[in-house]
């Protein structure tokens, strides 16, 4: 069954905390500034456009939990990543993800959708029982957009919106 952006809601993980704004003094002319640390990790790579996006580190943290909870079949953690209205729809979730393994996740685009919202476009590969695939394949290549809502210092996945990339194709 589907990932968000497919016809079925997905569910997993804990919400990601947004980083606090750091106070920094202007660098002196004689002091070298360190290069920014990479935004991605072993689970979620980050494309150059997304790396400059708003709250990229918090989004990578949420996506890391998202994919790890699917792969670990930790559906309670996965479910906690979503806004409460989606969580309530996930009462029978999990069966379709049993045996699913996602890999090759890349955050390709990250844009603000309002004062408290973000759209995160993610490409990844899933391996699953063909009966649980929207196209009957054991391997699918996904491109989804997750819509994230900031609530306090946390990000949660919210309902999808039209007009953003969503696709699934059998691996070739």
Q: Quick check: 171 pLDDT over 80?
A: yes
Q: Which residue has the tokens 């699913």?
A: 100
Residue 55 CA, chain-centre distance (Å), reads 13
> Could you give the C-alpha distances from 59 to 67, 95, 118, 139, 140, in angstroms and in order?
12, 26, 9, 25, 23
pLDDT digits (tens, 9 = 90+) for 144-168: 999 999 877 889 999 988 888 899 9
pLDDT digits (tens, 9 = 90+) for 84-132: 999 998 876 666 667 899 999 999 999 999 888 999 999 999 999 999 8
Burial (CB < 10 A; 0-12, 13-18, 19+), residue 138, is middle
SS3 state of residue 37: coil
Q: Which helix (DSSP H) or strand (DSSP E) does residue 104 occupy? A: strand 101-114
CA angle 106, 79, 156 (to 5 degrees): 60
SS3 state of residue 35: coil
Of residues 18 and 108, which shows the higher confidence score? 108
Average pLDDT of the chain to the nearest whole number: 81
pTM here is: 0.78
pLDDT of residue 89: 87
Tokens of 166: 């969503």
């Amino acid at each position: 069954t589907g990932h968000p952006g497919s016809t079925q809601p997905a569910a997993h993980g804990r919400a990601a905390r947004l980083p606090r704004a750091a106070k920094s003094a202007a660098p002196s002319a004689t002091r070298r500034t360190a290069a920014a640390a990479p935004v991605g990790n072993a689970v979620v790579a980050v494309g150059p456009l997304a790396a400059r996006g708003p709250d990229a580190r918090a989004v990578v943290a949420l996506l890391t939990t998202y994919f790890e909870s699917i792969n670990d079949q930790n559906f309670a953690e996965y479910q906690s990543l979503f806004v409460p209205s989606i969580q309530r729809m996930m009462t029978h979730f999990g069966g379709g993800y049993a045996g699913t393994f996602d890999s090759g996740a890349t955050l390709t685009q990250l844009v603000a959708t309002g004062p408290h919202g973000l759209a995160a476009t993610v490409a990844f590969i899933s391996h699953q029982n063909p009966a649980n695939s929207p196209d009957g394949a054991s391997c699918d290549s996904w491109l989804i957009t997750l819509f994230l809502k900031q609530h306090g210092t946390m990000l949660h996945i919210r309902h999808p919106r039209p007009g953003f990339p969503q696709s699934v194709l059998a691996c070739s």
